[in-house]
Structure formats: structure tokens, C-alpha cells
Amino acid sequence: MKPITLDTITQAVINHGDGGKTHPRLYEIYTSLVKHLHAFVREVNLTEPELQQGRDFLNRVSRHTQFIPDGEMQVLTDLLGISELVLLLQDTIGKATESNLEGPLYIPNAPERQIGDRIGVDVEGEALFLSGRVLDVNGQAIANALIEVWQPNSQGLYDIFDPSQPAGNFRGQFHTDRDGNYRFETVVPSGYDVPADGPCGEVLRLLGRHTWRAAHIHFKLSATGYLPLTTQVFIEGAPQLDADTTFAVRTNILKLQKHESADAKAQHQPSHTAEFDFVLKPIEAAK
């Protein structure tokens, strides 16, 4: 009989199974998870009360009532950088636009817009005229691609959290023209604090971590023959661009060109223009 000791327990757990005969991929994940979780427990010399706090924390995360079902477990993996790490690992085609977290605020069937439309009402915000093209990895235009967009207003508020905004404000869907062009008017969004009233928020406060999301616009793109893309585009120079709480700021940076209002007396806000091209992967790339 081989007793369980500090030296044998990790391998004993890994060996306690059929070596992947039933489900090779699950066994691979299990083996690696056990190895790394045990290394963590050893490294910090985790105590029984701390392990119990960990169990309690996960139970509270699962049971925390959020505005979306199971939202707090998603938030947990976002805050640990795991959600973004998984996306980084999958983004292997150099030329395509990086994917990013969908987040919980996407709503299907957003208002249909025409090219050039303004997508929301915000009297205080600075206008942003955004345009660009949807392309394939060879630089060829993709006509009739569906673009869905959603963003907060200039105060960092999404329509669904702000009764003063009409439903569907700063949301929209439209199609590229035959040359792959899109163009719409919006406002420069502001960043915002992720709600932190649950167990994840409690831990963040004890870590001295803020919950700021750098200002961004969400996009979802789909076109026949191409892999759908969900991504975020960040505003250059926005606060905490270096320290977004979901670690989502990569290379999708929107460079704004500022235009002062010609009519200073009327106290018009400055407006901005920006261009951003999206590049989609062909479906074959997934095979």
C-alpha cells in the first residue's frame, strides 16, 4: 500500500481515472488543472479556513442575483483575466481584427439603421462620426456585412440602466454597402465602473482594485462565408486605458480627430471623426 503524502497526492489524483480513455480532452484539462491548483495550494500554504472561504466565495458567486443569469461567474472570470486570456489564445490569424468579450449588455435585434444615421440621443455628448470598411484578410471588401453596435452614452450609461434614455439608444444594426463601407454618427462614449455590489466586488475592494472599464464601443459582425466577430474598440486617450478591469484593451484603438465647433457662441461641442476597418476571417480558417 502506498500512503498518500505531500509527495504523492498530486500524482495520485491525476492517476485516479482512466487516463483519458472515456474523454481524452476532459482528462487533459483535469490533469493540468489538478497540477496547477495543487501548485497554488502549496505555494501559498493554504489553510483550512481559507479553503472554506474559497468554497463559500464560489457558492456566493453562483447564487448572487444579477441582472443577467449566471452573470457573477462570468464577471469572476473576466476580473481574473481568464476570459480575455482565452480570447488571446484563439486569436491566431494575424491580419484579422482581434475578438473581444461580448459582455452582458448585448441585445439582439437592435434598431435597424441606414448608413450615415445617428444611433442615439445625447445632448451633452460630443458627436463622433465613425466610418470604415469591412474587409477580408486579403483586403477585399465584404458587401452586405451585418454590423451590430452598442455603447454607453457620454456619461458612461447604457440605455438599459438609464430611464432617461429611449430604448435602443446607442444601439443599432446596419449593413455595409457594396464596397464594404459603413458610416454612422454617435457620441464619444465614456468609461464606467462595473457594478460591484456582489461577492466579486467585495474581493476587489480588499485587493485595492478598481472596476473601471475604459471607454469603448462594442461591435458584432457577421457575413456569409466569414467567422462572426465580436469585439470592442477603445477610445484613444481615454482614462484607464492601461488598466481596464477586464484586461480587454489590446490593439483595437480608435484614433479620434477633433473638430472645434465653428460657432463658438452657440456653445456647440466639438465633434470628432474616426475611421476603423474590420477584417473578418474566412470560415475555412476555423477548420
- Of 113, 107, 117, 99, the C-alpha closest to 151 is 107
The span from the CA of 118 to the CA of 198, in Å, is 36
39 or 107: whose CB is closer to its own copies?
39
Give the three cell numbers for residue 134.
469591412
- The whole-angstrom distance between residue 200's C-alpha and the CA centroid of its chain comes to 17
Enumerate residues 256-285 that contact its own copies by CB under 8 A. Answer: none
Burial of 97 (0-12, 13-18, 19+ CB in 10 A): buried
Cβ closer to its own copies: 211 or 261? 211
For residue 49, the tally of other CB atoms under 10 A from its CB is: 8
- DSSP class per residue in 127-166: EEEEEEEEEETTS-B-TT-EEEEE---TTS--GGG-TTSP
Distance of CA 87 to the CA centre of its chain: 9
Q: Which range, of 142-150, 170-178, 242-250, 276-284, touches its own copies by CB under 8 A?
A: 242-250
Spell out the residues 6+ positions from residue 77 whose beta carbon is closer than 8 angstroms to its own. Answer: 83
Select from 65, 109, 138, 251 the one that contacts its own copies (CB under 8 A): 251
- Is there a contact between 75 and 200 (Cβ–Cβ < 8 Å)? yes
Residue 46 interacts with its own copies (CB under 8 A): yes or no: yes
Is the separation of the CB atoms in 247 and 225 below 8 Å?
Answer: no
CB 211 within 8 A of CB 204: yes
- Select the residue interacting with its own copies from 65, 89, 266, 267 (CB under 8 A): 89
Rule CB under 8 A: choose which of 68, 107, 243, 285 binds its own copies.
243
Can residue 203 be called a binding residue for its own copies (CB under 8 A)? Answer: yes
Residue 10 within binding range of its own copies, rule CB under 8 A: yes
Write out the binding residues for its own copies, residues 51-70 only, by CB under 8 A.
Answer: 51, 55-56, 58-59, 61-63, 70
Least CB distance from residue 139 to its own copies, whole Å? 23
Which one of residues 147, 196, 248, 254 is an interface residue with its own copies (CB under 8 A)?
Answer: 248
Of 91 and 117, nearer to its own copies (C-beta) is 91
> In sequence order, which ranges of the chain are alpha helices (DSSP H)?
9-15, 24-44, 48-63, 71-79, 82-90, 199-206
Residue 26 grid coordinates? 476532459
- Tell me the closest approach of the beta carbon of residue 92 to its own copies, in angstroms: 10
Residue of 107, 115, 205, 275 that binds its own copies (CB under 8 A): 205
How far are the Cα atoms of 33, 34, 81 from residue 154, in angstroms, in the given order?
A: 42, 46, 27
Which residue of 206, 264, 266, 286 would you call a contact of its own copies, by CB under 8 A? 206
Q: Which of 145, 157, 245, 274 binds its own copies (CB under 8 A)?
A: 245
Does residue 286 bind its own copies (CB under 8 A)?
Answer: no
Q: Judged by CB under 8 A, does residue 74 bind its own copies?
A: yes
> Of the candidates 50, 179, 193, 275, which one interacts with its own copies according to CB under 8 A?
50
Q: Is 227 in the site for its own copies (CB under 8 A)?
A: no
Span interacting with its own copies, options 27-35, 148-156, 168-176, 267-275, rule CB under 8 A: 27-35
